A = this chain, B = another copy of it.
Amino acid sequence: MPKKIYFTPGPSQLHYSFEFHLKKAMDESIGSISHRSNAFKKIYQETEAALRALFSLPDDFHVLFLSSATDIWERILQNLVVDASHHFVNGAFSQRFYDFSQLLGLNSTQTVASPGEEFASLDVPADTELIAVTQNETSTGYGFSRDNLKALRSAHPDTLVAVDAVSSIPAVPLDFGDLDMTYFSVQKCFGLPAGLGVWILNERAITKYHQLASKQQVSGTYRSLGTMLKQAEKHQTPETPNVLFIYLLGKVATEMLQKGTKSIINDTIYKSSILYQTLENHPKFTPFVSDPANRSKTVIVAECEDIQSQVLSDLEKKGLVLGKGYGAFKEKHIRIANFPAHSKEQIEMLCDLLEKY
């Protein structure tokens, strides 16, 4: 039986060459090498270099490997916020980052919009230390626009800006001039299994950390930025990391680089366009995010009247696994991942099948 195609919004379809690189990793004993060996340091350097090139990363940005984006949420707040961050919340994941601030006892604030809706205002309290924006809200398919991100940055040039790009980069453009840090998980756009998160942050964020650290205003142990950066300079991590996935991320990023970031972004636009067109032209499907300007290009979410479970089960029988809705929308939405691992042909086939309803 042929393998199913996973359009779930992460974990999702694996990168087309994933198994090839996995086999090669086994041949090279990547699962056995020490995380303190030169062999590992070389892998670390290669993966970092591939990511830098893929994202056209400015020189003052650093790349850190952690275990998940959830891990990174906690570490951003512990290392960089003493009193209050401000969060733009219109879905489950942006909400959860804000919730972490409350669990850590911060006086953080939020601007809340209904799930999938645009924010009425981009205002931020004057004493905010860090602005948290979700470029791609995986739960609802809302895409925070580049214009809004630029507006936020220019209105608050002295405040740190953190962009959650968990399910968007490198498939959606991100201008590193508009932010001080971003982060992603490898099980979304990079087509890897889950188990690795990447935090990318600039010197300005690190300077802020050192200011706070000198006043004993940061918390944490092995994930303090000081400890992580000291190890990163040696191309290592404080803990024994997921060596195999760091290796595999480097291989996938290198292949993406050969294809070209522009080409990946353009393919993503094309595939998302035909998906939204299919949904809009269909009497039983409605894109959940009403304003096309705010629609995610990597996680396409649709309301589908009473046929949701029917659609999901029919398509799964045909070998196509779509995502359910998230949280309160579990039984109401379908979510379709449109990641670089999803080929044009696969998306076209999916559109054909959806049209038949």
Contacts and interface: CB of A to CB of B under 8 A. Distances in A.
A12 B32 contact: yes
Contact of A104 (B34, B187, B221): B221
B242 A195 contact: yes
Contact of A194 (B29, B103, B242): B242
Interface stretch (A3-11, A174-182, A203-211): A3-11
A29 B3 contact: yes
Contact of A221 (B29, B74, B242): B74
A221 B11 contact: no
A115 interface: no
Contact of A70 (B3, B196, B239, B243): B239
A235 to B, nearest CB: 16
B19 A32 contact: no
Interface residues of A, number: 55
A67 interface: yes
A112 to B, nearest CB: 20
A245 interface: yes
A30 interface: yes
Interface string A1-37: 0011010101111100011001000110111111100
Given A26-B22, A222-B70, A240 B10 contact: yes
A243 B100 contact: no
Given A32-B12, A239-B71, A244 B104 contact: no
Interface of A: 3-4, 6, 8, 10-14, 18-19, 22, 26-27, 29-35, 67-71, 73-74, 99-100, 103-104, 185, 187, 192-196, 219-224, 238-245, 321, 323
Given A6-B32, A11-B35, 4 more contacts: A34-B323, A67-B239, A73-B221, A195-B245
